[in-house]
Amino acid sequence: MKYILLFSLLTFSLFAGVNVGDKAPDFTLKTLDGKKTHTMKDYRGKVVLLNLWASWCKGCKKEMPEFISLQKHNTKGFELIAVNLDDSRDNATHFLSTLKQKIPFTVLHDEKKNLAKAYRCSAMPSSYLIDKNGVIKQVIIGSLDSNDIKILQDEINTLK
């Protein structure tokens, strides 16, 4: 019996995502247009909401306007980074064009899904609130609505 429990605990820990209090895994990714490279280290000193999304994800489409509003209301000390996991940049570009709003935050592309692997992302969308020192403060699985964004805004203000 204890071998089954031990195996279960080991299996869970291998597939569990990053946890609150963990250092945010670093990345080196290009923007959706492929012109600029960003790393997590570029954002030290700022509160970051790292969002992993895909064009086929209905919850991602639902929360994207909320993220536009969140970034517009947080111009100092906060950065939203949306990392697209589609195989094709074209799918992501088309998805964003359907929003009919200018995207005020950084959109990166991770076609190899290395960041999703590093964070052991288990569902789309997934978001990670990261403090100024690169420590994960919240792990959010699933899409955020306007009420969730208000609560998140309070946390962002606390971390600034």
pLDDT tens digits for range 103-143: 999 999 999 999 999 999 989 999 999 999 999 999 999 99
- Phi and psi dihedrals of 89, rounded to 5? -60, -30
What pTM was estimated for this model as a whole?
A: 0.88
Q: In what order do the strands lie in the sheet with 37-39?
A: 37-39, 28-31, 106-109, 78-84, 47-53, 126-130, 136-141
The yes or no reply on domain 18-159 and CATH 3.40.30.10 is yes
Residues carrying an active site annotation: 60
User: Which residue, among 129, 146, 131, 79, has the nearest Cα to 107 in the 3D structure?
Assistant: 79
Report pLDDT digits (tens) over 12-34: 344 456 899 999 999 999 999 99
Q: At what angle do helices 58-72 and 89-97 cross, to 10 degrees?
A: 60
Q: How is the chain split into domains, by residue range?
A: 18-159
